Amino acid sequence: MIQTLEVHNLSCGACASTIRTGLGNAGFTSVKVNILSTPHTVSAEIENDERLELFKKVLRDHGYPLIEDEVIEPDMSKINYA
């Protein structure tokens, strides 16, 4: 079954290539990366929950956190610029 995830930090063709290569090296097939959609999406053939978790891990490990992940923004008011 094709599974699609929404990701952060995806902005160019080089990003898409990095993702396709990383997922391909992990054995994923039918990989599609959409940098034109908002939010950006990555799809691949996923056979089971174990493969889904690996799919998510590969994306995160390559610097593309999932929209479903909690993103904690730094508190800029605490920075001392002196």
In this structure, what CATH number is given to the domain that contains residue 11?
3.30.70.100
17 within domain boundaries: yes
Domain that holds residue 45: 2-66
15 within domain boundaries: yes
Q: Give how many domains the chain has, as a whole number.
A: 1
**Cis peptide bond upstream of 65, omega within 30:** no
Q: What is the dihedral of CA 46, 47, 51, 55, to 10 degrees?
A: 0
From first to last of the 82 residues of the chain, give the pLDDT tens digit: 999 999 998 889 999 999 999 999 999 999 999 999 889 999 999 999 999 999 999 999 999 999 998 766 666 677 777 6
